[in-house]
Amino acid sequence: MSACPRPEGRVTLVGAGPGDPDLLTLRAVKAIQSADALLFDALIDPAILDLARPEARRIDVGKRCGRHAMRQSAINTLIARLAQEGAHVVRLKGGDPFVFGRGGEELDSLRAAGVPVTVVPGVTAACAAAASLQVPLTHRDVARSVHFVTGHGADGAVPMHDWLALVRSGGTIAAYMASRTLPKVAAGLIAAGMPGSTPAVAVEHASRPGERRLFGTIAGLPEALAAAGFEGPTLVLIGDVVALSREMAVPLRAAA
pLDDT in tens, 159-194: 789 999 999 999 999 999 998 999 999 999 999 999
What is the predicted pLDDT for the residue at 1? 47
Dihedrals phi, psi of 165, to nearest 5 degrees? -65, -40
What is the predicted pLDDT for the residue at 5? 59
Tell me, yes or no, if 22 is annotated catalytic: no
| 199-204 and 212-217 strand pairing | antiparallel
What is the predicted pLDDT for the residue at 251? 42
Q: Please say whether the dihedral angle defined by the alpha carbons of residues 153, 38, 98 and 81, taken in this order, is positive or negative.
A: positive
What is the predicted pLDDT for the residue at 155? 59
Domains and CATH numbers, the chain: 10-120 (3.40.1010.10), 125-244 (3.30.950.10)
Assign 253 a pLDDT band (cuts: 50, 70, 90): very low
pLDDT in tens, 136-167: 999 999 999 999 999 876 656 677 899 999 99
What is the predicted pLDDT for the residue at 65? 53
Helix (H, G, I), strand (E, B) or coil at 78: helix
Check whether 21 has a pLDDT greater than 50.
Answer: yes
Assign 3 a pLDDT band (cuts: 50, 70, 90): low
pLDDT in tens, 32-41: 999 999 999 9
What is the predicted pLDDT for the residue at 232? 87
pLDDT in tens, 67-97: 556 899 999 999 999 999 999 999 999 999 9
Give the pLDDT mean for 100-123.
96
Tell me, yes or no, if 63 is annotated catalytic: yes
Query: pTM, whole model, 2 decimals?
Result: 0.88
What is the predicted pLDDT for the residue at 6? 62
What is the predicted pLDDT for the residue at 68? 54
Mean pLDDT over each residue of the chain, to the nearest integer: 90
Check whether 14 has a pLDDT greater than 90.
Answer: yes
Assign 120 a pLDDT band (cuts: 50, 70, 90): very high
Between CA 221 and CA 226, with CA 223 as vertex, the angle to 5 degrees is: 105
Give residue 181's Cα distance to chain centre: 17
Burial (CB < 10 A; 0-12, 13-18, 19+), residue 55, is exposed
Residue of 20, 41, 45, 240 with catalytic role: 41
Check whether 246 has a pLDDT greater than 80.
Answer: no
Distance between CA atoms of 174 and 210, rounded to whole angstroms? 20
Assign 256 a pLDDT band (cuts: 50, 70, 90): very low
Angstrom CA distances, 146 to 34, 97, 168, 207, 256, stand at: 35, 19, 12, 20, 15
